[in-house]
Structure formats: structure tokens, C-alpha cells
Amino acid sequence: MSKPIERVEIITGREHRRRYTAEEKVRLVEETMQPGMTVSAVARLHGVSPSLLFGWRRRMAEGGLEAVRADEDVVAASRVRELEAKVRELERLLGRKTMETEILREALEAARPKKHALRLPSPPRGGSR
């Protein structure tokens, strides 16, 4: 006997991207891990791209349900803290360099001599010299 159809999806007009809930993703990934099932077989059975299923499997292995729900890679908390510390250090250095630039600009303006408009005598009227 064949399996009952769980979901029928009719796409009319322009195709659109299907959205899967975290529970659907987990269910499909777990189905790929059943004895005798392959990712390709599950993908064909449910009309899903095998590469999509492989991506969900990888995310599940790396970060579990949260990674699948966010549809993003999982980064270790220690790496996040390390990168945040680096950002703080770079922001501090940027602030320091900005202040140095402003001080140097002010010093340069103060050191420049004021240019006074020099008035040359007007040539005599009448064109004779």
C-alpha cells in the first residue's frame, strides 16, 4: 500500500519560494536518518531539493534546532565574544585616530600665516606710463 499524501501544493502563476517551519525541517531531516532512506529518496518523496536537505542536515549537526529555525550557520559563543572584543578595540583605535586628526588639523590651521590681500598700485589712467 502507498503512503497517504500529507500535503498537496498547487502553484499557479509565477513560482514562489516555499517556506518550511522548523518542525517540518526537523521531520524531513530525521526521515533522512531512518534505516534504508537516503537524502535523495526523501527529497523526491517530498518534492524538496536534495541540496536543501543536505544543508538542513549540516545545520542540525552543527547547531541543532536553533540553527535550522534561523536558517543560518551556528557560531560558537567564544568566537562571538572574541569578535566583539576585537570590534571594541578597533572602535577605540578609530576614536583615538579621529581625535589625533582633529588636533593636527587645528594645529595646521593655527600655524598657517594669515594671507592678507596685497594691493598693488593701480596703473595710471590714460594709458601712459
List pLDDT tens digits, range 12-60.
666 667 788 878 888 888 888 888 888 889 888 888 888 988 888 887 7
Largest CA distance in the chain: 120
- What are the residue ranges spanned by the domains of the chain? 22-70, 75-112
Q: What is the pLDDT of residue 79?
A: 78
Q: What is the pLDDT of residue 24?
A: 85
What average pLDDT does the segment 101-110 reach?
91
Nearest to 3 by CA among 41, 55, 57, 54: 41
Query: Per-residue pLDDT for 99 more than 90?
Result: yes
